[in-house]
Structure 1
Amino acid sequence: MSDTSRELDVILYGVTGFAGKLTAQYLARAGGGARIGLAGRSAARLRAVRDQLGAAARDWPIVVAEADQPATLDAMAARTRVVITTVGPYTRYGMPLVAACAAAGTDYVDLTGETLFVRESIDRYHEQAAASQARIVHGCGFDSIPSDISVYALYRAAHDDGTGELLDTDLVVRGASGGASGGTLASMVEFLGTTAGDPQAQRQLRDPHTLSSDRRAEPRLGSEPDLSWRRGGDIAAELDGIWTAGFAMAPVNTRIVRRSNGLLGWAYGRRFRYAEHLSCGSSAAAPALAGLATGLSKASFAVGGHLVRLVPPALLERILPKPGTGPSQSRRENGYYRIETYTTTSGGARYRVEMAQQGDPGYQATSVLLGESALALALDRDALPDRYGVLTPAAAMGDVLLARLPAAGVTLEVTRLH
């Protein structure tokens, strides 16, 4: 249901960037009658994008707003029920918009995978957003909706069956194909470079509960390594014969999932333990591949930032793809991801959820996930829980997304195994 007290339902901020254009294209196809506006720094460039979106977007308003001009962000937030932002790196450009939305009582979604940005957002604006009844929802792209919503689906199945709380829960990426954009690589370089020499940042990144809603109330489960290689059969009998590496995005996604558990009153359980893995197959070389992949992921977090800081900025600009560029249309359309998440409950039941989507995970698929998150907040408000502040996708709109995503072409199937 639209909120007629605001001029617009959704404003997409950053539409001239690579991810922003794809999200605009998705909203033009699947907007469902939402009142949508396009925002960015240049009215001329915004109009050029709008002109490519077809008849559905012909009358979408143009909104000029800039990250370094807070008054323009305040005005933008006041006009709409929901803001989508694809403007990163978020640690550099994101916080003023979070502030504007928290002050205006405007819902907000982004596609960030920047854990320390999310932590700062919680520290600075959770209470204000809760008071203004704004939902600030980070991680609404491939990072971290497949992780967060898959676990939420398992929780709903166990809850509905009365089989107890979730115990060991493991996501396994069974297959994925895609590419990287200039904007994503710029965010990675920014993240690595700014955290490498900061001991406090490094401690936060190592803390498995760094995004916790109440750090002192978190269950103490011993070691929870982010990146480890394992036999598939040690995760689930159905994976016997394969080897898995630590999934490179686990240090981001696991924090979001654990925050969901806290925001939901530890509904998943006080013994809920979560990890993410990448399938390396069952060949003779699989164990070595799993070990190598895990080692490379660990090295990228351990020393990547120090290496970035040694490279002159001018050289980095020449080496990296330019912001606004990304995978070709063919690669985007032929990309995909397929994940399986397994859990065992305190009542002895076992479940698996399979989630899959056609399209490059970071861009084509993310544009659908991001767009559907915004539409859920804008159009399905009567079905959302009365939960506000800096949230996760599952805590903000779990049940609504479970209904919306399959209708948007996302496979989401839960099976009881035992």
Structure 2
Amino acid sequence: MPARNPSFDLVVFGATSFVGRILTERLVGRIGVDGDVSWAIAGRSADKLEQVATETGADVERIVADAADADAMASLARSTRVVASTVGPYALYGSELVAAVTAAGTDYCDLTGEPQWMRAMIDAHEGDAVDSGARIVHACGFDSIPSDLGVWFTQQQAIERFGAPCTSIALRVKAMKGGASGGTIASGLNLIEEARSDPALRKILGNPYALAPDGMREGPKQPNVGRPQRDAASGQWAAPFIMAATNTRVVQRSHALLGRPWGDDFEYDEAMLVGDGPMGAVRGSVVAGGMAAFAGMAAFGPTRKLLGTFLPDPGEGPSPEAQEAGFYDLRLYGETADGRTIVTKVTGDRDPGYGSTAKMLAESALAFLDLPAADVAGGFWTPATAFGDRLIDRLVEHAGLTFDVLEPE
């Protein structure tokens, strides 16, 4: 690779999107506009970029670039050390940029929760990223940092206390408050549409090891909470968690990239806690039924159009007040091979999908700037395998997250 002399440390691509605006405003408060980190905002509309700059105070350079323009993406990738992308659905708008950063040797992070697209990017570009030195980390928002780093944290704590890792971990959503943006909904609808017409894709989506490196995409059957059930880990009723299909795949990729140190039979699953007693069972049925109804409506054209009449459009999302009022409280229940148990907690102080996600993406992007190539080489990584404790420390100090051990005390 020829020597690079990028103009910027960081470029936010998609600054005019809903979460891109939040991220831009976050960076203004976090690193300023004329500090040690040089950065720019990018998007396809000069007018909208100007509006974002004015509204957020981001008096930084504006780069006009369209996600579908390969030459523009190549120029953007060469201009910076790190790209943070909020342009989704990534399966529709993200591929040219990943190809560009791979070729340029530029570090990259995003917010995708689309496992089919992550798999396609890994398969298409892993070798080139290793060669160029580009470090690519998908899923740097609520998909899937709390899960991936929560498991990492739990395992480090188990090893410290017990001298052995957990062979099973169950993440349970104890409480959560927050809304969804139109961009996230559009990504989910696109995934359902792709899967409806592609049996091979449905097979990939059904494989819990789908994101593992080639040659490691098989393993023991994984637990899956697909219906309301009494939860052995917590003792409460549990219901399906909509983000589990992405988060579990990311965690299993982390485990594979690490060399499967937690055992070839390591089990991981996610679910929502919905309470105890008869009302817990009722709430679980309501959650599961609602998810099934949404998926069914989204799978067919006429009902998908009907959904569009009352769901937010891309660019829309929770108000600033709703973002600040949001939060999440996740519990991880781990058990070692000899039956010892550990319970940890991960919390966030903002709406999970937007207020907290923007802070997580900001810290992920900034973490690249202090990440020596000697420590993490080029390739496709996960939040845990790229950053590990480095990112946990950043999230605790700057992003309103906590990571704590509840049991044993």
What TM bracket, shorter-length normalisation? Answer: over 0.9
For residues 319 and 295 of structure 1, the distance between their equivalents in structure 2, rounded to whole angstroms, comes to: 19
The percent identity for this pair of structures is: 37
Contact 1:165 1:268 in 2 (8 A): yes
AA partner of residue 386 (structure 1): V
Q: CA RMSD in A?
A: 2.2
AA partner of residue 385 (structure 1): D
2:16 corresponds to: 16
| Alpha-carbon distance change, 329 to 400 in structure 1, aligned in 2, over 3 angstroms | same
2:139 corresponds to: 139
2:41 corresponds to: 38
Report 1:21-100 matches (<5 A): 21-31=21-31, 33-54=36-57, 57-58=58-59, 60-100=60-100
Q: CA deviation at 1:116?
A: 0.4
Q: CA deviation at 1:321?
A: 2.3
Contact 1:388 1:396 in 2 (8 A): no
**1:262 maps onto 2:256 in alignment:** yes
The count of corresponding residues between Structure 1 and Structure 2 is 403
Q: CA deviation at 1:90?
A: 0.7
1:194 corresponds to: 194
2:238 corresponds to: 244
| Alpha-carbon distance change, 304 to 267 in structure 1, aligned in 2, over 3 angstroms | farther
1:306 to 299, 302, 305: 299
Report 1:136-215 matches (<5 A): 136-161=136-161, 163-215=163-215
Note the residue ranges of structure 2 that are not aligned, 5 or more in a row: none
2:220 corresponds to: 221
The alignment partner of 1:289 has SS state of: helix
Q: CA deviation at 1:29?
A: 1.0
1:351 to 342, 345, 360: 342
Q: CA deviation at 1:326?
A: 1.0
Moved more, 406-415 or 285-294: 285-294
The alignment partner of 1:170 has SS state of: strand
The alignment partner of 2:91 has SS state of: helix
AA partner of residue 302 (structure 2): L
| Alpha-carbon distance change, 384 to 138 in structure 1, aligned in 2, over 3 angstroms | farther
2:265 corresponds to: 271
Q: CA deviation at 1:227?
A: 2.3
Q: CA deviation at 1:149?
A: 0.4
AA partner of residue 183 (structure 2): G
Q: CA deviation at 1:175?
A: 0.5
Q: CA deviation at 1:79?
A: 1.0
1:330 corresponds to: 321
| Alpha-carbon distance change, 306 to 44 in structure 1, aligned in 2, over 3 angstroms | closer
Q: CA deviation at 1:82?
A: 0.8
AA partner of residue 224 (structure 2): P
Contact 1:166 1:345 in 2 (8 A): yes
Contact 2:44 2:64 in 1 (8 A): yes
For residues 69 and 199 of structure 1, the distance between their equivalents in structure 2, rounded to whole angstroms, comes to: 30
For residues 216 and 112 of structure 1, the distance between their equivalents in structure 2, rounded to whole angstroms, comes to: 22
Q: CA deviation at 1:363?
A: 0.5
For residues 170 and 187 of structure 1, the distance between their equivalents in structure 2, rounded to whole angstroms, comes to: 26
